């Protein structure tokens, strides 16, 4: 029986498919898996090699993922995939098979290997707030069930140009809310593939769970405060939040544009880097992209051209197994030492630090962010007042940079103004009035509707009014607190001579489905630094608790230093080798699996 004490609307926690002991012992694969190919833990690089060697076709690969979704997603109650684009995905696969055949005939195997597009036949899932024609973009809400976009999001166009195929949409926390769980009024809860009674976190929980269960080669999520790195940690995969402005966001339903990023989720750092290589680039319709990558920006982005002349950023060239041997890593001990941290998480983190040291890394322990000219220096526990989930000190007062909720209203209003369909809400106020959303979304929507405009006169802190500061309502370059936070971060890293910072992604294991945390802090460390400073950060598997629940370690780099971030994270991943597929979802094509799952992975 699934527990739902605590309760987050227990009716939403009921309905997981009944799995019999026979199911657990024999598995859910069809007895004659005709046409499927082995895909468990398949990588972007391996797909290219198998296609070039003629060991499978792109159509076979797409059909296999579609079959796996049918076999596993609904029958187990995983509920990671919300909708599929079967016809368009198969049509794209057939076209790519023809393209490869023509390329092999013209250039031979060696020439084809050089000219093949970087994500050739990479079947991906999109979080359901990313536009793709033919499928509704719902953000998990009944209110947007009829929102059929006419054009793909900017990032989808780039991925398709690189050869990727959109399989469908993944379930998400409604409107990208709920960092601890993934639930919406349209599709309900997504479950953790390592333990179906647990949550994968949110809000990109569907993308993370699907990638963990090998239902796609990779997936896209969005990360505002936690929503990619958090689920990646809880689902045992890799989630990379890029620097704000590096990946375009037009065609994506926003939560708050001053912090939103579109981010890759994969089973390895190498695959996350390959996805980012196609995703990164100037989006003229995105204010942050124009600011950071436009002609007047200072960001330097390395580019490499494919055979068709389309330019992609090549982050895979920074993958370096030996990067730890030359790395200086700042250990943000104060995040680990926040009161209440789970002992198993602390032990896993200590083991991760040992692994880095054994590979030659220099650890700079007790790294701190100092130099705040507006007030007290940053402290992960706010000098004993509780975890700083996005707080900055102004003249002794700890301002909550998440307290300003007006960006949700302005971003949603702008998106809804351009949607197609007369039955759709035209702004957030219409959406609220219609009531077609999950009850847990109500407070966030109402707060955004009631939020004052972001002006010094309206902002509530007297000290901030006196100083003329508006903190938490704008991008880092317009927000004095965030500007100071970013400068302090970079200056402190420079002074300590560190390449990246490191800390646990979560200080707690995944929640049980139906449970709720009884305070504002649930062990989630992702909102603390990266969203406020615009820095890139990545969560990589750190191991498992005694109950078999995944945990993740997070690396953070200076803004637009994705190359260093990727190099260090990849080297740690290779040295630790802690990624393991969940046992409930074995290959259906005759590959050797890890054996049947334990009954405790399903309930209890």
Reduced to 3 states, what is the DSSP secondary structure of residue 552? strand
Which of 83, 185, 203, 289 is flagged as catalytic? 203
| 18, burial (CB in 10 Å: exposed 0-12, middle 13-18, buried 19+) | exposed
Q: Residue holding tokens 């334990």?
A: 598
What's the Cα-to-Cα distance from 3 to each of 118, 190, 512, rounded to whole Å?
45, 15, 7
Helices (H) and strands (E) in the chain, counts: 19, 15
CB atoms within 10 A of CB 436: 15
Residue 83 a catalytic site member: no
Q: Which of 57, 204, 227, 539 is catalytic?
A: 227
**Active site annotation includes 203:** yes
Burial 95-116 (b: 16+ CB within 10 A, else e): ebbebbeebbeeeeeeebeeeb
The C-alpha atoms of residue 272 and residue 179 are separated, in whole angstroms, by 21
Asked if 288 and 478 count as a contact pair (C-beta separation under 8 A), the reply is: no
User: How far apart (Å, rounded) are the C-alpha atoms in residues 174 and 87?
Assistant: 27
Q: What is the DSSP code string of 496-512? A: HT-SEEEEESBSSPPPB
* Chain position carrying tokens 């305070």: 519
The span from the CA of 95 to the CA of 241, in Å, is: 32
CA distance 507 to 240: 19
Torsion angle (degrees, nearest 10) of CA 519, 522, 525, 526: -100
Residues in Cβ contact with 463 at an 8 Å cutoff, skipping those fewer than 6 apart: 394, 395, 397
Closest CA to 565 of 500, 504, 486, 503: 500
Report, as residue numbers or ranges, the catalytic residues.
Answer: 127, 203, 227
């Amino acid at each position: 029986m699934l527990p739902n004490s605590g309760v987050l609307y227990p009716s939403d926690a009921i309905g997981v498919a009944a799995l019999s002991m026979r199911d657990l012992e024999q598995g859910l694969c069809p007895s004659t898996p005709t046409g499927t190919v082995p895909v468990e833990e398949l990588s972007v690089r391996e797909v290219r090699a198998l296609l070039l060697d003629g060991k499978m076709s792109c159509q076979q690969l797409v059909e296999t993922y579609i079959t796996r979704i049918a076999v596993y997603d609904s029958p187990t109650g995983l509920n990671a995939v919300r909708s599929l684009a079967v016809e368009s995905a198969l049509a794209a696969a057939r076209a790519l098979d023809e393209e490869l055949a023509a390329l092999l005939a013209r250039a031979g195997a060696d020439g084809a290997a050089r000219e093949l597009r970087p994500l050739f036949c990479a079947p991906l899932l999109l979080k359901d707030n990313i536009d793709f024609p033919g499928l509704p973009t719902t953000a998990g809400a009944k209110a947007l069930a009829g929102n059929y976009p006419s054009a793909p999001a900017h990032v989808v166009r780039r991925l398709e140009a690189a050869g990727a195929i959109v399989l469908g949409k993944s379930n998400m926390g409604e409107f990208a809310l709920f960092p601890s769980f993934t639930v919406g009024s349209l599709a309900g809860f997504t479950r953790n593939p390592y333990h179906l009674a647990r949550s994968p976190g949110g809000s990109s929980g569907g993308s993370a769970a699907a990638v963990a269960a090998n239902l796609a080669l990779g997936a896209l999520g969005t990360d505002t405060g936690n929503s990619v790195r958090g689920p990646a940690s809880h689902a045992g995969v890799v989630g990379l939040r890029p620097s704000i402005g590096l990946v375009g966001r037009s065609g994506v339903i926003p939560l708050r544009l001053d912090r939103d990023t579109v981010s890759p989720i994969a089973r390895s750092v190498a695959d996350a880097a390959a996805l980012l290589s196609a995703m990164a680039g100037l989006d003229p319709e995105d204010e942050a992209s124009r600011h950071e990558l436009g002609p007047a920006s200072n960001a330097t982005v390395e580019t490499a051209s494919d055979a068709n002349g389309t330019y992609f950023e090549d982050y895979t060239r920074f993958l370096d197994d030996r990067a730890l041997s030359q790395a200086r890593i700042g250990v943000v001990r104060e995040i680990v030492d926040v009161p209440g941290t789970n002992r198993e998480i602390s032990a896993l983190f200590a083991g991760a630090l040992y692994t880095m040291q054994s590979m030659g890394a220099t650890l700079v322990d007790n790294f701190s962010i100092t130099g705040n000219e507006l007030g007290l220096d940053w402290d992960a526990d706010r000098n004993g007042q509780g975890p700083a989930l996005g707080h900055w000190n102004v003249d002794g007062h700890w301002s909550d940079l998440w307290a300003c909720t007006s960006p949700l209203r302005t971003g949603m209003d702008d998106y809804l103004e351009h949607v197609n369909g007369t039955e759709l809400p035209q702004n957030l106020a219409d959406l609220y009035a219609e009531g077609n959303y999950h009850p847990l979304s109500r407070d966030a929507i109402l707060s955004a509707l009631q939020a004052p405009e972001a002006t010094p006169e309206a902002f509530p802190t007297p000290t901030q009014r006196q100083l003329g500061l508006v903190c938490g309502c704008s991008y880092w370059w317009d927000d004095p607190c965030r500007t100071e936070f970013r400068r302090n971060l970079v200056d402190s890293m420079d002074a300590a001579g560190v390449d990246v910072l490191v800390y646990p992604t979560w200080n707690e294991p995944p929640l049980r489905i139906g449970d709720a945390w009884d305070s504002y802090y649930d062990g989630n460390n992702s909102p603390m630094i990266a969203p406020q400073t615009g820095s890139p950060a990545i969560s990589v598997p750190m191991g498992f608790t005694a109950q078999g629940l995944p945990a993740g370690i997070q690396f953070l780099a200076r803004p637009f230093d994705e190359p260093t971030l990727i190099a260090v994270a990849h080297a740690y991943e290779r040295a630790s080798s802690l990624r393991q597929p969940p046992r409930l979802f074995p290959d259906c094509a005759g590959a050797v699996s890890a054996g049947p799952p334990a009954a405790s992975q399903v309930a209890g």
